[in-house]
Amino acid sequence: MRSFASYISKHLVSFATFILLLLLLNVVVFSLTFHKIVTDDYGESSPQSMLKMTAVAATPEQLSDNAVKKLRQNHIWAIYLNANGQCYWSIDLPEEVPKSYTIQDVALFSKGYIEDYPVFVWNTDDGLLVLGYPKDSYTKLTSNYYSIAALRKFPVFVLGMLVLDACCFFMAYYFSKRRIIYNTEPIVSAVETLADGKSVSLHISGELSEIANSVNKASFILSRQNEARANWISGVSHDIRTPLSMIMGYAGRIVENEAASKTVREQAEIVRKQSIKIKELVQDLNLVSQLEYEMQPLHKEVVRLSKLLRSYVADLLNTGISDSYNIGIEITPNAENAVLECDTRLILRAINNLVHNSMKHNPQGCEINLSLSVSKNQLILAVTDNGTGLSAEKLQELEEKPHYMKSTDERLDLRHGLGLLIVQQVAAAHNGSFKLTNVTPQGCKADLIFPYCK
């Protein structure tokens, strides 16, 4: 966990560093955007600086050439008024601006504008110096002035910086997320694989190596436990086989012994039948454990499923099943020559489990139909009956856990219910899936679905 904490801390430090760099970027962009405006408003060309420079260079008779040049460079006009409001001289005075003013006029324009030109005034010993700036260059308040260009740029600047910051944050989030997913995805995938009971092996260096080693250790322990469990089941299956065969043999002899009483022979038949069920249970447990822990070797070969189904149905009918069961087969034209690389023995076991499952749940008899079809890139092998079907509760139970262990009544009528689990595991071993549904108006349908490429 120490490495994981270090990993998270490193990303937090990186994020904090990113925020600081983003703030620095904002400051730099602000400086670049408003540097010229601030320089113009408060530097050598600002109204106050220009007033001081012009006042020093002005006399009632004239203004120095250097001052005139600077005024024109900044597009400023000027007028010098005497104490009576009359003009000594003017520089580049617009036509609409008058050359004489009353005291009231001076009081008004000294705080604002002359004909929409923002003006700034400077009182000298000889009179009043007035500098006029271009229209829409400044907005004036009673005690201060602000650049209109700055006021116009500021909302755009704020909006632009917000968009830029949002983009930077999104990019940081996106690449950080990608990096974290890239680093942690193998571990998450390994944990999910472990949750399915399968072993994994991670080879990760760097900050997350300690976590990877812990996952590998857990995988090794789980693998050892699964192997021990499978070996134990296999050992029990092997050890029970001999005494079970003896019980079945002796029970069979008693059943066939005409000298024994009818009651003894009936009891011996019960022992024989239940022994057969115990034998099937042990075989199913062994197969389930081998498939679940991937200890069952698959002997795959290319098989034409239509031929396999017909052969199975023929063998089933030859076993002498009850006349109350009507077995049918349906193969679509596009599936007639469909082949599947599979373990024939396991596929037949899955089909047989589904057929006998229909028989077991419909003891009064039913129609059982085996079908084979191709849909898109899937090969669908279905077993359908028109029996009692499944209740919604039972269907949900089978979907959540497709097997159950149950021992009923005093006659030890064992129903281990591992048949559907075996079907599901056989499908998974062939990269397929298993689906169980009710059909209308009644009955049940079991689909074995395999990936198929023509």
Closest CA to 419 of 399, 402, 431: 402
Residue-averaged pLDDT of the chain: 80
Let me know whether 37 and 71 are in one domain. Answer: no
**Domain assignment of residue 232, yes or no:** yes
Last residue of a domain, one of 235, 269, 291: 291
Mention every residue, 6+ apart, whose C-beta is less than 8 A from residue 255: 265, 268, 269, 272
Let me know whether 233 and 171 are in one domain. Answer: no
Let me know whether 276 and 303 are in one domain. Answer: no
Closest CA to 360 of 387, 336, 395, 398: 387
Q: Answer whether 278's CB lies under 8 Å from 285's CB.
A: no
**Domain assignment of residue 189, yes or no:** no
Query: What pLDDT, on the 0 to 100 scale, is given for residue 332?
Result: 92
In angstroms, the CA 190 to CA 201 distance is: 8
In angstroms, the CA 180 to CA 101 distance is: 75
Q: Answer whether 338's CB lies under 8 Å from 372's CB.
A: yes
pLDDT over 90 at 448, yes or no: yes
CATH of the domain at 386: 3.30.565.10
Which H or E element spans position 200?
Answer: none
For the segment 273-288, the average pLDDT, to the nearest whole number, is 75
Beta bridge partners of 58: 63
Closest CA to 223 of 197, 203, 202, 195: 197
Query: What pLDDT, on the 0 to 100 scale, is given for residue 107?
Result: 83
Query: What pLDDT, on the 0 to 100 scale, is given for residue 404?
Result: 47
* Structure-model confidence comparison of residues 205 and 314, the more confident one: 314
Last residue of a domain, one of 143, 169, 200: 143
pLDDT digit string, tens, across residues 13-53:
777 787 888 888 888 887 777 666 666 656 677 888 888 89
pLDDT over 90 at 80, yes or no: yes
The alpha carbon of residue 287 and the mean position of all alpha carbons in its chain are separated, in whole angstroms, by: 36
Let me know whether 121 and 26 are in one domain. Answer: no
Let me know whether 246 and 329 are in one domain. Answer: no
**Domain assignment of residue 342, yes or no:** yes
Structural domains in the chain (count): 4
Q: Answer whether 79's CB lies under 8 Å from 92's CB.
A: no
In angstroms, the CA 371 to CA 445 distance is: 11
For the segment 88-98, the average pLDDT, to the nearest whole number, is 91
SS3 68: helix
pLDDT band at 412 (very low <50, low <70, confident <90, very high): very low
Find the domain containing 23 and state its range: 2-41+152-184
Distances in Å between the Cα of 180 and the Cα atoms of 16, 118, 393 are: 17, 58, 42
For the segment 146-154, the average pLDDT, to the nearest whole number, is 75
**Domain assignment of residue 204, yes or no:** no
**Domain assignment of residue 435, yes or no:** yes
Is pTM beyond 0.85? Reply is: no
Let me know whether 351 and 216 are in one domain. Answer: no
pLDDT over 80 at 146, yes or no: no
Let me know whether 233 and 330 are in one domain. Answer: no
Last residue of a domain, one of 143, 176, 199: 143
pLDDT over 80 at 320, yes or no: no
pLDDT band at 450 (very low <50, low <70, confident <90, very high): very high
Which H or E element spans position 323?
Answer: none
The answer to whether the Cα torsion of 37, 42, 48, 53 is positive or negative is negative
In angstroms, the CA 83 to CA 128 distance is: 7
b (16+ CB within 10 A) / e for 201-218: ebebeebbebbbeebbee
Of 164-178, 295-309, 337-351, 398-412, where does the model show the most confidence?
337-351
In angstroms, the CA 371 to CA 338 distance is: 13
134 upstream amide cis, omega within 30 of 0: no
Q: State the residue for tokens 């260096």.
A: 205
Let me know whether 307 and 442 are in one domain. Answer: yes
Q: Answer whether 139's CB lies under 8 Å from 155's CB.
A: no
DSSP 63: B
Query: What pLDDT, on the 0 to 100 scale, is given for residue 145?
Result: 63
**Domain assignment of residue 318, yes or no:** yes
DSSP 417: -
The alpha carbon of residue 202 and the mean position of all alpha carbons in its chain are separated, in whole angstroms, by: 22
Q: State the residue for tokens 């650049």.
A: 147
Phi first, then psi: what are they for 409, rounded to 5°? 35, 175
The answer to whether the Cα torsion of 105, 106, 107, 110 is positive or negative is positive
pLDDT over 90 at 221, yes or no: no
Let me know whether 35 and 103 are in one domain. Answer: no
SS3 428: helix
* Structure-model confidence comparison of residues 197 and 345, the more confident one: 345
Which H or E element spans position 407?
Answer: strand 406-408
Which H or E element spans position 380?
Answer: strand 378-385
Six-digit token pair at 213?
């080693």
Let me know whether 113 and 88 are in one domain. Answer: yes
Query: What pLDDT, on the 0 to 100 scale, is given for residue 131?
Result: 93
pLDDT over 90 at 343, yes or no: no
Let me know whether 307 and 418 are in one domain. Answer: yes
Query: What pLDDT, on the 0 to 100 scale, is given for residue 411?
Result: 41
Q: Answer whether 212's CB lies under 8 Å from 200's CB.
A: no
Let me know whether 388 and 311 are in one domain. Answer: yes
